[in-house]
Amino acid sequence: MKQITSASNPLIKKILLLQEKSRERKEAGLFVIDGWKETQLAIANNFEIDTILFRKGFGLNFDELATENVIEISEEVFDRISYRGNTSKVVSLAKPKHMALADVKLSENPLLLVLDGVEKPGNVGAILRTADATGLDAVICCDTHTDIYNPNVIRSSVGCVFTKQIVVCSKEECLEFLKKKSIAVFTTSLKAAKNYLDVEYKKPSAFVVGTEAEGVDIFWEENSDANIIIPMRGQNDSLNVSNAVAVVLFEALRQRS
């Protein structure tokens, strides 16, 4: 079995670059997964694993692996490439999936989420965790520059970035897709909006959410079946976007149950 004990090893340097720079990930066609649980989710959802590096002393079950390229890393070097160090156990390199709208498979009564310009990796990751919990059909990212394989997205999603269909496209392409599939659009908004509890989501539905700073683009407010709002009882006018997503999605599930 291969072993690495030096932080100056070319592969270790490459991993550090892949973690830091989106350009490096795109050029290499690889991204970094920090954690054994996250790696297992990637394997279970048919992501192609290039390399698995495990911390010395971790009892890895080789029957669970999706690659023969497995490397043991000394504790000191592993702690250099893993955000969580000893609790992580495994760091993997995997190949990204690039899904188009035409590739999305929908259930009989689909429920989707549209992220309009949401870019903070921590928010995107938390949203994807909720998307997994609610069993969404797909997450569509519009007009965003966030790399969904950013290490912070993977970490904050606890690997749920691998469990959902995720598409990156323009808002125009997204709206055309939703109309073609007869999916109602519900846009979270602070303007002329209905209480989210007063709207029915039992039919095929897509929720559109934007950033806390800017909200959603007016494009979505003008093209939605209904603009909805979560009433606030305090002095602030809105929730963190990931919390807002959880509120409206679980209300949709409650209605559908």
Whether the pLDDT of residue 85 is over 80: the answer is no
Statement to judge: residues 162 and 89 lie in one domain: no
Q: Which residues of 234-253 are buried (b: 16+ CB within 10 A; e: fewer)?
A: eeeeeeebbebbbebbebbe
Statement to judge: residues 129 and 83 lie in one domain: no
Q: Assign residue 50 the CATH number of its domain.
A: 3.30.1330.30
Distance CA 180, CA 38 (A): 34
Statement to judge: residues 12 and 128 lie in one domain: no
Average predicted confidence (pLDDT) for the chain:
94
Query: Could you list the residue range(s) of the whole structural domain that residue 8 is in?
Result: 2-94
Statement to judge: residues 131 and 228 lie in one domain: yes
Statement to judge: residues 120 and 202 lie in one domain: yes
Question: What percentage of residues in the chain have a pLDDT greater than 90?
Answer: 86
Q: What is the pLDDT of residue 174?
A: 98
What's the whole-model pTM score?
0.93
Residue listed under structure tokens 């949401």: 118
- State the distance between the two ends of the chain, measured CA to CA, in whole angstroms: 51
Taking only Cα atoms into account, the Rg of the chain, rounded to an integer number of angstroms, comes to: 20
Q: Tell which residue, 199, 186, 193, has the closest CA to residue 254.
A: 199
Q: Please, which residues have CB within 8 angstroms of residue 207's CB and are 6 or more apart in sequence?
A: 112, 113, 114, 186, 187, 188, 245, 248, 249, 252
How confident is residue 256, by pLDDT bands cut at 50, 70 and 90? very high
Q: Give the domain-ending residue among 45, 69, 94.
A: 94
Q: What is the pLDDT of residue 1?
A: 78
Q: Give the domain-ending residue among 94, 119, 148.
A: 94
Statement to judge: residues 27 and 148 lie in one domain: no
Whether the pLDDT of residue 61 is over 90: the answer is no
Distance CA 209, CA 245 (A): 7
Q: What is the pLDDT of residue 59?
A: 87
For helices 121-134 and 241-256, give the axis angle rounded to 10 degrees. Answer: 10
Q: What is the pLDDT of residue 78?
A: 96
Whether the pLDDT of residue 65 is over 90: the answer is no
Q: What is the pLDDT of residue 21?
A: 95
Q: Assign residue 160 the CATH number of its domain.
A: 3.40.1280.10
Statement to judge: residues 178 and 213 lie in one domain: yes
- In total, how many domains does the chain have? 2
Whether the pLDDT of residue 226 is over 80: the answer is yes
Q: Give the domain-ending residue among 76, 94, 112.
A: 94
Give the tens place of pLDDT for each residue, 2-27. 999 999 999 999 999 999 999 999 99
Statement to judge: residues 56 and 145 lie in one domain: no
33 membership: H or E segment, kind and range: strand 31-34
Statement to judge: residues 153 and 172 lie in one domain: yes
Q: What is the pLDDT of residue 121?
A: 93
Statement to judge: residues 78 and 106 lie in one domain: no
Q: What is the pLDDT of residue 82?
A: 95
Q: What is the pLDDT of residue 66?
A: 82
How many other C-beta atoms can be found within 10 angstroms of the C-beta atom of residue 61?
A: 7
Q: What is the pLDDT of residue 5?
A: 96
Statement to judge: residues 109 and 217 lie in one domain: yes
Give the tens place of pLDDT for each residue, 91-115. 999 999 999 999 999 999 999 999 9
Task: Tell me the Ramachandran region of residue 92: left when phi exceeds 0, alpha when psi lies from -120 to 50, beta otherwise.
Answer: beta
CA distances from 23 to 12, 147, 167, 173 (A): 17, 10, 19, 25
Q: What is the pLDDT of residue 37?
A: 94
Give the tens place of pLDDT for each residue, 177-221. 999 999 999 999 988 789 999 999 999 999 999 987 788 999 999
Statement to judge: residues 9 and 72 lie in one domain: yes
How confident is residue 38, by pLDDT bands cut at 50, 70 and 90? very high
Residue listed under structure tokens 């969404």: 136
